[in-house]
Chains A and B, each alone.
Chain A
Amino acid sequence: MTDRLIALFAEELDVDASTLSDSSSPDTVETWDSLAAMRLVAALESEFSVRLTTREAMKMRTIGIARAVLAEKNVKV
């Protein structure tokens, strides 16, 4: 089964899911620019029905951190 979070990042970053892992970050993914970061926040919020604070949004420098932030909101992915 594909990882929902990875799949979502792949869609918003316009890359193949197989190239992503929890350690992926703006430093390793070329398309992860500030515009993509903005898109990712909107996508995470609508996909998982959560609301992210600005501090959380700024903190999500890797997919792994995003997973942890979601876990704090009782979203397990």
Chain B
Amino acid sequence: MSEASRNRLLSRRWRAHAKQAVNVAPDVTIGMAGSFTLDSLMEYVGGQLLDAGMGNPKLVAADYNQLMTVCQDPEGAFRGAQPNVIVILWRLEDLADATKPQLVQAALEMLLAGVRTLRARFAGTIVLGLPPRPRSPFEGVAQFSRPSLLQSLWYQALSAVAVLASELADTHTVDIEAELARIGNFAGLDSRKDYLYRQPYSEALLFGLAEQIVRICLARTAAARKCIVVDCDNTLWGGIIGEDGVGGIELSDDYPGRPFRDFQRQLKALRDTGIFLALCSKNNPADVEEVFASHSAMVLSWDDVSVAKINWQPKSDNIREIAAELNIGLDAIVFIDDNAFEIEEVRTHLPEVLCLQLPEELADIPASFQSFCRAFDRLDLTEDDHRRVDMQRAEVQRKDLHQKLTDGEFLQSLDLVVDIREPAAADYARITQLINKTNQFNVTTRRYGLEDVAGMVQDRRTHVYCASVSDRFGDYGLVGVAIVRDDGNAAVFDTFLMSCRVLGRGVETALLAYGVECAASRGVHFVVGQYLPTRKNGMVEHLFTRHGFDKDEASSDQNQIFVRETYPIQIPPYLTVRRPLAATASAETSETAA
């Protein structure tokens, strides 16, 4: 089937879907606004979302070229449709009279300010188009030997949009120019459609642009894969280690070793964003380990491998064990092998595992894996994502130690350090992530967006504290958040939560103690805790009573209130707590309770 017929089929599928009255809530509602005609693009976005398995995506268009209206009044611009995602696509030359660059510049500044306004008024995902190179018909007519003002403005606009997207929460970009570079201007631009319908692009280009948008929409909600299980022979390197030996396998910076080396670089890049890497190979373990230890062209090191299953068992059995050891679901695993039989064996026994058979053509391996990498799409990576693999390794070492010691000895031997501080701007993303995904150790399960967190940190009557934890095996990262509001003579814990990574370490006691200590230093006499039971947060039911709070008479089952005077809370002796002095909350001191 030609590309054109595929595109037509897909937009037909979307039109058929859009005509039906579906009685279920939409999976996602996407509001689209453009400085050019978006009708075909929207059909492709809708069709591709259906293809990706969404049952009921919904698309709403704003009126043509009403970008500022969308920014100022998103609700009204989409006629009350309440989108989860707003897409804004624009061309510089559409913003104002393209023959007057000063006007375009002013309009550009207005649009960028408008996007900031939209961020403040709209809670969902923003997808912002990077403007394509200006192709106004006036370009180069009177001046050709250096960039025109409009061209220079384009360079500025690109970096301004990139900076804006990195500053604003949950704001992402799509790139028309990159799509044009991929398929070529001749195939991507269509001046006839521009003059007839104000749609300057070909169907092929719009299809590709739709793919970029859809990828973002899917990554918002998809449970991303967390682990890559790879075969070794003819996958990490060319040839068979058991036959060719370390000197004989193909792995270098020249053909035929280069595609394998590039593939390893791709795996390494994913590993560095917190994706686990596991080996599953039918080999002698010593042979594989020797390659990792001694082959000079290896990109991956043995430390990059979280689990290695090098044996002659069926690969599906090995993958089951890998999932268990990493404590992740089978649906979080992808499996990569060059051998069709192995792929089929895993597919048959573990249908949840996503499989990629590497292409026979070596030169196609990196590109084939690159498109496959969408399985790992996540929108916002935090510092903690980058460290996840190292943290998991430390966890394995902790478990080994714990098995040898009693609980008390174990905690003492960990050398736990809790760092408590008021958050810096760099912490907001991680705090927001914790606030939105912590279900178990979370007393109120209140969810806040990044802008809310920033607002509460600024607010003088609200105090936000966060706790990072480390021990002799490594860093747990930022794992605890407390939000305290002053209310007359009481300080109320609006939010108190902790990542389950540090359960049973007494970290909650240190954080709670600091909140109480700060309240006391402000002259507040009572601290108030609240427990709102959910199906998942039973583990914190007794958190406050364990720390000397009394249940208030005003409590109901669904809204339990606890009160305590602000005398100090005892901190476990095995914890080293570093925190700013409560009285000044600026000077840093160190305290080790005896």
Contact = CB atoms under 8 A, between A and B. Distances in A.
B19 to A, nearest CB: 8
Given A38-B193, A46-B2, A54-B192, A11 B203 contact: no
Contacts of B452: none
B40 A54 contact: no
Nearest to A58: B196
A34 B8 contact: no
Interface residues of B, number: 18
Describe B's contact surface by its main secondary structure.
helix
Q: Find the residue from B4, B192, B199 having the highest chain A CB count within 10 A.
A: B192
A58 B192 CA distance: 11
Interface in A1-43: 11-12, 14, 34-35, 38-39, 41-43
A52 B193 CA distance: 11
Nearest to A57: B196
B12 A42 contact: no
B15 interface: yes
Interface of A: 11-12, 14, 34-35, 38-39, 41-43, 46-47, 52-54, 57-58
Given A14-B12, A38-B197, A42-B4, A53 B39 contact: no
Contacts, number: 40
Given A14-B15, A35-B39, A42 B192 contact: no
Contacts of A39: 8, 11, 40
Nearest to A42: B203
A47 B3 CA distance: 11
8 contacts: A38-B40, A38-B196, A38-B199, A39-B8, A46-B4, A54-B195, A57-B192, A58-B196
Contact of A12 (B2, B4, B8, B196): B8
B16 interface: yes
Contacts of B16: 14
Contacts of B203: 42
A33 B193 CA distance: 15
Contacts of B15: 14
A34 B11 contact: no
Contact of A46 (B5, B40, B192, B197): B5
Interface in B181-198: 192-193, 195-197
B572 to A, nearest CB: 67
Given A39-B11, A41-B193, A42-B8, 5 more contacts: A11-B8, A12-B8, A42-B40, A43-B8, A54-B195
Describe A's contact surface by its main secondary structure.
helix
A57 B192 CA distance: 9
A39 B40 CA distance: 8
Nearest to A46: B4
B379 to A, nearest CB: 31
A43 B39 CA distance: 15
A12 to B, nearest CB: 7
A55 to B, nearest CB: 10
Contacts of B193: 38, 41
Contacts of A42: 4, 8, 40, 203
Nearest to B192: A54
Interface string B282-307: 00000000000000000000000000
Contact of A54 (B2, B11, B196): B196
Contacts of B4: 42-43, 46-47
Contacts of A12: 8, 12
Contacts of B19: 14
Contacts of A52: 192
Q: Find the residue from A12, A14, A34, A42 having the highest chain B CB count within 10 A.
A: A42
